[in-house]
Chain A
C-alpha cells in the first residue's frame, strides 16, 4: 500500500534520512523505532508532503506521491497525527474535527465520521465545545487521533503518540491504536518507547541516524540478540 524506496531527505544541506526503504501493507501496523534525532518525524513529514525529499520515491496505492502538496496527499487517504498532536489551540474540539474532515473526499461524510470516531473516543462528544488548548496532554492526543480519523484515511501515521504522557495514559493510547488497527486501518507509527509499540506492530523498522538498521517481523525483532541487548534491556 505504501512503498518507500531509497529515500534521502534533510533540511538545507543537512541530510537526515539516508537511503530509507520502508513498506506498509494493507491492514498492517508498522512501527518505526529509533532514538531521539534518528529522523522519525522527518520521515513522516516527507510522506505527508510537508518536506520534499532530495531523492528516492514514495508510492501509495501504486501512485507516486513524493513531491505532491500536503493537501493532495490527504485527499489520497494518508493522514498524520503530528508529534504532540498539534491541535489548533484556539479552536474548539468540534472545529478541530471539522478541519479533520476538510478534504473534499470525506467532507460530506462529516456526520457519519463523527459518529464512528466518537464510538472510539467518547470524549469528543462530551467536550465538543471546549477550546483545544485548554485540554490535558492525553486528551489532546486523543482528539488529535480523532481529528486524523475524521479524514477517513486508509493509512494513519502516528508520530510518537506516547511522548510526554503519563504511563497510565500511554497505555490507554496504545489500547486505542490497537482498536484502530482492529478496525482495519493501516498504521505507520514512529516511537521511541520500544516495548509498547512492539506489542501492537506487525512489522518493525529500526532507524538510527537516518538509516534503517533492522527490519523484520515482530518475532524476529524480539529474537534479535543485538536488539535484545540495546533496546529491550534483556
Chain B
C-alpha cells in the first residue's frame, strides 16, 4: 500500500514535471538551444508569487497568474538580449551566455531577498481516497499540468503558429520557404517556454519554499527528463516526466530523498550510455 501510494503521488507529481520539461524541450527542439537558466525562471516565478501574495497581499491565484505573465515577459527579454544575438553562434557560446543569465538571476534574487527560504505558507490538505493518501498539492499540479499540456497540444496541432513551431524543429530551411519568419517562431517559442516556467512555478507554490539556489536542481531535472525522452521529442519528454516522478516518489518513500536524487542521476547516466538518443528519440538526430 505504501508503494502504491507513492506511485500514485509520483504520477501526480509527474504532471508538473511534464509541464516543466515540455518548456525546455520545446526551446531545444525549435531553437536548438539548451536553456541552462530554465530553473532560474521557475525560481523567479516563485519569488514573484511570494512578493505579490505575501508582501502586497494580492490574492494567491491572481499572484500566480501575474507571475506567469511576468516570467513569460522575462523569457521574451532573455530572447532579445541573449539568445537572438547568438542564434548563429557556436553552441558553447549560447550555453555560456545562458549560464550568465542563470548567474544574473540567482544573484539578483540573492541581493533582493537574501539567502533565506521564502515561501507562501499555503497548507493544503492530504486527501483520503479509499486507502490512498493523496497530497492535494500534487493533485492540483497534475490537473493544471495536464490541462496546460492539452492546450499546448491543440496549439501545436491546430494553429498556424503551432504547426510552424513543430515544422521548424523538423526542417528549418524548408519552413522558411513556407513563408515562416523563423525569428517570429523563436520569439513565440520563448514566450511559451517562459509561460510554462511560470505555470510550473505556480504549481510549485504549495510544495516548495524558494531560495536563490533553487533553480539549478530544476534546470537539471528538466534536462534529465528531456534526455530520458529524447532531446526535442515532446512525447518522450512527457513519458520521461512520469518515470522520473514515480522513481523520485517511490525511492523517497522507501529510502530517502537524497538516494532518490542519486537514482534519478543514475538513470540519466544509464540512458546516455545505453540509449543516447533517449527513449523515443531517433539516433543521429
Contact = CB atoms under 8 A, between A and B. Distances in A.
Interface of A: 48-50, 69-71, 73-75, 79-80, 82, 86, 88-91, 95, 98-100, 102-104, 107, 147, 151
Given A88-B170, A98-B160, A50 B176 contact: yes
A183 B175 CA distance: 26
Given A89-B170, A95-B157, A102-B160, A69 B176 contact: yes
Contacts of A86: 171, 174
> Chain B at the A interface: mostly helix, strand, loop or mixed?
helix
13 contacts: A49-B176, A71-B177, A71-B178, A79-B177, A90-B170, A91-B167, A99-B180, A102-B160, A102-B164, A103-B178, A104-B179, A107-B160, A151-B179
B179 A88 contact: no
B181 interface: yes
B118 interface: no
A88 B160 contact: no
Contacts of B157: 95
How many of chain B's residues touch chain A, expressed as a range? 10 to 19
B173 interface: yes
Nearest to A110: B160
Given A98-B163, A102-B164, A48 B177 contact: yes
Contacts of A50: 173, 176-177
Contact of B179 (A71, A82, A95): A71
B166 interface: yes
Interface string B139-182: 00000000000000000010010011011001101111111110
Contacts of B178: 71, 74, 99-100, 102-103, 147, 151
Nearest to A81: B177
B224 to A, nearest CB: 24
B159 to A, nearest CB: 9
Contacts of B171: 86, 88
Contacts of B174: 82, 86, 88
